[in-house]
Amino acid sequence: TQLLEQSPQFLSIQEGENLTVYCNSSSVFSSLQWYRQEPGEGPVLLVTVVTGGEVKKLKRLTFQFGDARKDSSLHITAAQPGDTGLYLCAGPSTTSGTYKYIFGTGTRLKVLA
């Protein structure tokens, strides 16, 4: 079974600090997606990475897909209170020919003003 482990589980930082969130698996993924979820709402897609080693930037957020496509990272520069939320990585899983879509364990980020 393909699993996605995220670290850290919780992160509380001051406004203006930088941070990195990790998403790791022992299995290869054809792609990984990152979402942000705010309380009481559904997850919102931030980015999709497909190619090993790929780097994508979304304003102050930088996403990287590992060369072996088993891991990914999300780096936030100069965090702001509006970045507060639950960050989830996710990807398609095909085990024994069965297709599923799995989410990581999540990183709950709180940015203090």
Per-residue mark of binding to another protein, 40-59 (x: CB under 8 A): xxxxxx--x-x---------
Calculate Rg over the CA atoms of the chain.
14
81: left (phi over 0), alpha (psi -120 to 50) or beta: alpha
The residue to which tokens 């990183």 are assigned: 107
Interaction of residue 101 with another protein, rule CB under 8 A: yes
**Interface with another protein by CB under 8 A: which range of 14-22, 55-63, 74-82, 102-110?**
102-110
Please give the residues from 3 up to 22 whose contact with another protein meets the rule CB under 8 A. Answer: none
The correct pick among 12, 18, 30, 77 for binding another protein (CB under 8 A) is: 30
Among residues 14, 26, 96, 98, the one that binds another protein under rule CB under 8 A: 98
3-state helix, strand, coil in the chain (%, to 5): 5, 55, 40
| Paired tokens of 103 | 């989410």
Residue type, 106: G
List contacts with another protein (CB under 8 A): 30-31, 40-45, 48, 50, 88, 90-92, 98-106
